Amino acid sequence: MKESIVEGLKKLGLTEYEAKAYASLVGLGEATAREIHEASRVPRTRVYDILKDLAEKGFVEFIQGSPTYYRVVEPERVMERMREDILATIDLSERELKGLNLEVRGSSPVWCIRSEWAIRNRIRDFLETVDGDLTIFCQNFDFLKEYKSELKRHNLRIIVDDAEKFEGLKLEMEAMRSESAKLFHDLAAEETSFVLECAIIKRGKESLVIGRMGRDRLAVIIKIPLLTMIQTAFLDSLV
């Protein structure tokens, strides 16, 4: 039995024994508890309880007799029902979470995100909520390529370290002076190398700085209007 099948079923909420028993029964189609035990290696002392739990969850059906036979519910039917249940749960949770009224007191104006998923989510949220001019400084071709469609919706100013590196993107850009670009090379923080990918600035509101600290990718959100104005002015001085 492929370990990936068992791991996939476990992610859907089955225990390891339930996953092994169900996957084995998919292969057998119809079988006794003894046959399922032999195929799945689920302990004989546990197999009846496991099959009972699977029946209650709608994964198997059984025909009472001596011996009792168990029949698999087709994976397509099981997965479609689970998909519907998961989507319904997500929709309900989303509605209930939106209904919460949480007042955050003393929230920090600067915080850091390290999860790759969270960074991508924050970037898209940042770009979707722009209601004014947007300034971007970028040294990473892949970033502008990935978010090109979102960027083109805004009144945008893009400053790059090297215009030749970004040829082919068909975005209007400004290249900073070569001596200015050197300022962003070999950055370090507490003896750890820092590579700045890009900075997205909503003038007078907030900014999002994305880079790599050593091997880790991180994003820093800054909600200090004065600091975003200083960031914009600094970039202006380098072009």
What is the 3-state secondary structure of 195-211? EEEEEEEECCCEEEEEE
> pLDDT tens digits, residue range 11-24?
888 999 999 999 99
The first and second tokens of residue 44, run together, are 């004989």
> pLDDT tens digits, residue range 61-70?
988 888 889 9
pLDDT reported for residue 34: 93
Question: In the structure, what pLDDT confidence band is assigned to residue 106 with cuts at 50, 70 and 90?
Answer: low
Question: In the structure, what pLDDT confidence band is assigned to residue 209 with cuts at 50, 70 and 90?
Answer: very high
Q: What percent of the chain has pLDDT over 90?
A: 18
pLDDT at 113 over 90: no
pLDDT reported for residue 178: 78
3-state secondary structure of 239: coil
Q: Which domains does the chain have, with CATH numbers?
A: 3-93 (1.10.10.10), 110-238 (3.30.870.10)
pLDDT reported for residue 107: 64
pLDDT reported for residue 36: 92
Sheet (strand 69-72) strand order: 30-32, 69-72, 60-63
pLDDT at 93 over 60: yes
pLDDT reported for residue 114: 84
Number of helices (H) and strands (E), helices first, in the chain?
10, 11
Average pLDDT over residues 122-132: 82
Amino acid at site 93: S
Amino acid at site 179: E
The reported pTM is 0.57
pLDDT reported for residue 185: 66
Question: In the structure, what pLDDT confidence band is assigned to residue 104 with cuts at 50, 70 and 90?
Answer: low
